[in-house]
Structure 1
Amino acid sequence: MNHKFALYIAIVTTALVGCSGNDSTETVAPTEITAPTSEASVPVRDLGGLVVTIASWAEVKEPEVKVNAYDEALWEYRNEMMEKHNFKFEELALTKWNETLELFSTSTLAGEPAAEIFRFQSNYQASAINSGLAYDLTKVESINLDDPIWHEQVIEMSTVGDAVYGIAVEFEPKMGLYFNKRLFEEAGLDPDLLYDLQASGEWTWDKLWEISEKLTRDTDNDGVNDVYAQSLNLSRLFHIATLSNNGSYVGRDEDGKYFINLSSPETMEAFTWAADYIAQDFDLYPENWAGIDQLFLNAKVAMHIGDEWQAANFNREMEDDFGFVCFPKGPRATDYVVGMSDATWVIPNTFSPEEVEDIMFALELWNTPPPGYDGPDDWMTPFYPSYRDERAVEETLAIMFNPANAKIDYQNFIAGSVKTDGVASDVYWRSKTPAESVESMTPIWQVEIDKLNAAGNK
């Protein structure tokens, strides 16, 4: 396995000046040389024992046994920075994911925030931003919000007017396509076919349909399919199809107003395609929703719409080799798209500007790659152990982690109030056409959109 590491070499050049040896009596003024300031002469920023806590629903602790060299370097660097700058950093499970907003609001209003930073699941991000209790990060002088370390789509989602109330360093790619290489071979397909199509730009809805026909097979000729193309996750299929066709469920205009985008040509085309796809019997529906991943693990289906984090589970539990690609492009898209709905960090506005400067300084240090892993491709290093091949990391994740390929859908902002996957359910059970389902849902969604816009105007 080849890893790319950046090599930085400092070259010090000494200029030698000699006399010409002539009889000239001209006086030459000496050149004033200013010695560069050494790193050692710059005062170390002392945070005075500050403890920065992220309030989350999961605890992140330094593992006793590091799984690889990257983890060793990362925690060594973090501990070195904490000692050097005299601070501590921790992420604690102080609340449940759906109770973070309550903890943030009550403790901040009481003037005693339960943490320096709160982690919000995307369903509650808008409420946190519009609460009037979040600190405007554009006022933090010591950080640059345009720095690549801060994810630009997260900042865009967290912007209200000229203010930015949320931040994150990365997001977890949502809704890529896992595939079983053995089942591809048994269907007469190259096991790396999807990688090759993705690399050539030919990975499209039409290709998925064509491949699904070959993967769905009755292997014992009893009239019942034994292998299906996909496990059927209705909400994910409809949503990633929408994003991959340059559509969305909820958009936001130039004035920051949210609007329902279900009836847009891009979204309606995606709904129609997804409805036609599931009507072909390409996918297998599990007996219960919790068993959908098991269908892929047990080789009952050849493909599976899943998130990046699932790779580690598949790698640990799956007997067959698997690959991972983006969902194919729809006809209205020019590039592959990855869904985005990860958590966002918010700082309470009860902290003083000086305190927030220190909090953000510590947060940036905590998320800085360790020396030796800060080259342009070194971010890939921690991902290799989760996959069976390098193409998943070097090709697919390279696309997915490019912010330009992350599609924002503000439907997450209302997902806690309305059933945003209702279109898929209505269509699957044949109760409505996509157009009829959108028409019936629009008034219900509009109520929540109006609330969202009203809160943003406060």
Structure 2
Amino acid sequence: MKNKFRVMAMILAVLMLAMSFAACQNNENDPDTTSATNNSTPVTSSNGDSTSTPATTTDDEINLDGYAFVWVKPTHSATGRANMAPDNETELGIQLTDIYNEIEDRYNCTIEINQTMGTDFEALMPSAVGGVKYADAVCTRQSNWIPLAMMGGLRALDSQEMLDAGLDLYNENVFNQIYTQMTNVKGKIWGFDMSGIYDNIAMGHCYAFNKRIVENAGYPAEVIFDAVRNGTWTYDYFLEIARACVSDPAGDGLTYPVGDDIWGIALDGDGNEIWTNGTGPIVYDEATGKYLSNLTDPQLIKAMEFMAAVNGEGDLMVPEAHGSIPQRGDRRQIFYEGKAAFAGLYGGNFNDSNTGLMEDDFGVVPFPKGPDTDKYIINMVDLDSSIIMTSNTDYAKTAVILNAIGEKVTDFEAYKELVLESFRGCEDSVDVLFNYAFPNAFMNIAKCSSEMHEIMRKQLYSDIYTKNMSVAQAAETYTGKIQAELDGIFRQ
């Protein structure tokens, strides 16, 4: 079956070729080129003069002449985020209403946060192909925006034209620098983030642990936190603790439904353990400018062997093929109910309807590190970033409004306070994540397309966890598949 992305890419290529003949000019949106061309709709100052570079105009002089700004920001209910949407009922919504009203009055514009328009690849593709403006900015996942960026459908935010338009990209008080810089693909920044109390990206995967269970097994929470700080939180130590926590009072083997049994691990890290030994399944080669499949790297083999060990032999982690085949949500529930010592969770799981239901206290630590690295990592699986499409020729006006919004809402310290609250005030958890793992956080490039996500999560990771294949067999089987998808997405 033909890959839908490649078909759409061919259509876009034909249309762009036709437009290039008609306009007799270079394609300034090719991600492999840099252009200083500024073709934005001018911003008008209060005295009627026009300028396409609002950075040279003072705030008090900018008049956007009733410009209608639209930011597509879908609701992510799992994370409990306000998602920048104003309302007249909630405390955050009312605050946002006041913020937007102030900006609208200052610049003579209107601001709409649209939560109904589509944000997937199929919804955005017609705008990329036809050049008809979709919105000023769109918040979407990397599996959608990376293919669009590589096809020339997005504006690089660090391009000269965007900087000349006044986008205050490198100001930490306007844009969250960690998550914004994380959108760097092939040397260009494609997305922005304004994490704070009004909107926040969900934390990447980590291991949560039940403090009561690990202490009963002889490993108090402070011992585990100190292991992270001391650099001894390793594959072997993690597995040692998980095995020590296993309890089978009836002596009839661990079962599901659980009953009185205590499992060592309720749920794996959704494949993210594969990044914990100093490399990953996909690497970027600076010399060639290409993304490469890396499954046969000896360091990666060790990480995949750890993934297989996490599953155990049906006596450590609640397996996918055990009993009535519990799904991932079922296995998380086992942890919430205090029937497992560890569980691989991510930001969206730390809220009132998930960990908030737990009777036991829990701690959170990064994945243990492999033998070939001295760093802990966090892989940001779902990097929901906001992008500006090439079809938005009003980007100078967009920049003015984004700067104003970001200045009001971006607050990394407030974001950390929210994380602390979601961890029930466990300061040790926040400490080990933000001080020992967060400096090495990165975007999950293995979700560079929906097709790649299927290959990695539903096939490669599953075959390793369930031992459907040996690690060596999995590396041989999937190397070619991954490389073929990379070549298509990144036009290599």
Give TM class, smaller chain: 0.7 to 0.9
Alpha-carbon distance, 1:306 to partner:
0.8
> Does residue 310 in structure 1 map to residue 349 in structure 2?
yes
CA distance in 2, matches of 1:169, 1:159: 19
Contact 1:44 1:84 in 2 (8 A): no
Q: Give runs of aligned pairs for residues 109-124 of structure 1, distance below 5 A.
A: 109-124=129-144
Counterpart of 2:479?
A: 442
Counterpart of 1:351?
A: 392
Q: Give runs of aligned pairs for residues 4-43 of structure 1, distance below 5 A.
A: 43=60
Contact 1:338 1:400 in 2 (8 A): no
CA distance in 2, matches of 1:223, 1:127: 47
Counterpart of 1:288?
A: 327
> Does residue 385 in structure 1 map to residue 400 in structure 2?
no
Alpha-carbon distance, 1:337 to partner:
0.5
Contact 2:308 2:466 in 1 (8 A): no
Counterpart of 2:303?
A: 270
Contact 2:278 2:299 in 1 (8 A): yes
Contact 1:414 1:449 in 2 (8 A): no
- Deviation readout 1:338-371 (Å, 9 max, x if unpaired): 012312222122333xx2122123223323355x
Unpaired runs of 5+ residues, structure 2, are 1-57, 77-82, 196-200, 256-260, 320-324
Counterpart of 2:80?
A: none
Give 3-state SS (helix, strand or coil) of 2:296's partner: coil
Alpha-carbon distance, 1:120 to partner:
2.4
Alpha-carbon distance, 1:264 to partner:
1.4
Give the direction of change, closer, same or farther, for the CA distance of 1:109–1:203 in structure 2 (3 Å limit): same
Counterpart of 2:405?
A: 366
Aligned residues: 401
> Does residue 337 in structure 1 map to residue 377 in structure 2?
yes
Q: Percent identity?
A: 20
Match of 1:132 among 139, 147, 152: 152
Match of 2:242 among 206, 212, 216: 212
Computed over aligned residues only, the root mean square deviation of the Cα atoms, in angstroms, reads 3.0
CA distance in 1, matches of 2:355, 2:93: 19
Alpha-carbon distance, 1:307 to partner:
0.6
CA distance in 1, matches of 2:59, 2:139: 33
- Deviation readout 1:50-85 (Å, 9 max, x if unpaired): 332223443842354546xx8876664454334333
Contact 1:123 1:413 in 2 (8 A): yes
Give 3-state SS (helix, strand or coil) of 1:368's partner: helix
Q: Which amino acid aligns with 1:412?
A: K
Counterpart of 2:464?
A: 427
CA distance in 1, matches of 2:125, 2:359: 47
Give 3-state SS (helix, strand or coil) of 1:207's partner: helix
Larger radius of gyration: 1
Give 3-state SS (helix, strand or coil) of 1:51's partner: strand
Counterpart of 1:20?
A: none
CA distance in 1, matches of 2:437, 2:301: 27
Q: Which amino acid aligns with 1:83?
A: D
> Does residue 143 in structure 1 map to residue 184 in structure 2?
no
Instruction: Provide TM-score, normalisation by structure 2.
Output: 0.72
Alpha-carbon distance, 1:176 to partner:
1.0
Give 3-state SS (helix, strand or coil) of 2:151's partner: coil
- Deviation readout 1:116-155 (Å, 9 max, x if unpaired): 1122212122211022222232121213433333445654
Contact 1:400 1:406 in 2 (8 A): no
- Deviation readout 1:152-190 (Å, 9 max, x if unpaired): 5654644446x5433334543211111112222332331
Alpha-carbon distance, 1:434 to partner:
0.4
Alpha-carbon distance, 1:400 to partner:
7.6
Give the direction of change, closer, same or farther, for the CA distance of 1:398–1:71 in structure 2 (3 Å limit): farther
Deviates more, 1:182-191 or 1:331-340: 182-191
Q: Which amino acid aligns with 2:374?
A: T
Give 3-state SS (helix, strand or coil) of 1:293's partner: helix
- Deviation readout 1:210-244 (Å, 9 max, x if unpaired): 111211112344454710111134xx35x322212
Alpha-carbon distance, 1:202 to partner:
2.5
CA distance in 2, matches of 1:42, 1:119: 26
Q: Which amino acid aligns with 2:425?
A: D
Alpha-carbon distance, 1:314 to partner:
3.3
CA distance in 1, matches of 2:289, 2:348: 32
Alpha-carbon distance, 1:111 to partner:
3.9
- Deviation readout 1:272-305 (Å, 9 max, x if unpaired): 1222332252111352233122111111212111
Q: Which amino acid aligns with 2:481?
A: I
Alpha-carbon distance, 1:270 to partner:
0.4
CA distance in 2, matches of 1:91, 1:106: 21
CA distance in 2, matches of 1:231, 1:438: 26
Give the direction of change, closer, same or farther, for the CA distance of 1:63–1:181 in structure 2 (3 Å limit): farther
Contact 2:128 2:148 in 1 (8 A): no
Give the direction of change, closer, same or farther, for the CA distance of 1:159–1:423 in structure 2 (3 Å limit): closer
CA distance in 2, matches of 1:223, 1:136: 56
Give 3-state SS (helix, strand or coil) of 2:407's partner: coil
> Does residue 49 in structure 1 map to residue 69 in structure 2?
no
> Does residue 200 in structure 1 map to residue 230 in structure 2?
yes
Q: Which amino acid aligns with 2:462?
A: S
Contact 2:214 2:241 in 1 (8 A): no
Match of 1:168 among 193, 206, 220: 193
Contact 2:378 2:442 in 1 (8 A): yes
> Does residue 183 in structure 1 map to residue 213 in structure 2?
yes
Give the direction of change, closer, same or farther, for the CA distance of 1:46–1:201 in structure 2 (3 Å limit): farther
CA distance in 2, matches of 1:179, 1:152: 26
Alpha-carbon distance, 1:324 to partner:
1.5
Contact 2:134 2:392 in 1 (8 A): no
Unpaired runs of 5+ residues, structure 1, are 1-40
Give the direction of change, closer, same or farther, for the CA distance of 1:356–1:287 in structure 2 (3 Å limit): same
Q: Which amino acid aligns with 2:114?
A: L
Instruction: Provide TM-score, normalisation by structure 1.
Output: 0.77
Give the direction of change, closer, same or farther, for the CA distance of 1:79–1:193 in structure 2 (3 Å limit): farther
Counterpart of 1:279?
A: 312
- Deviation readout 1:304-339 (Å, 9 max, x if unpaired): 111123111334322221121211222222221001
Give the direction of change, closer, same or farther, for the CA distance of 1:394–1:448 in structure 2 (3 Å limit): closer
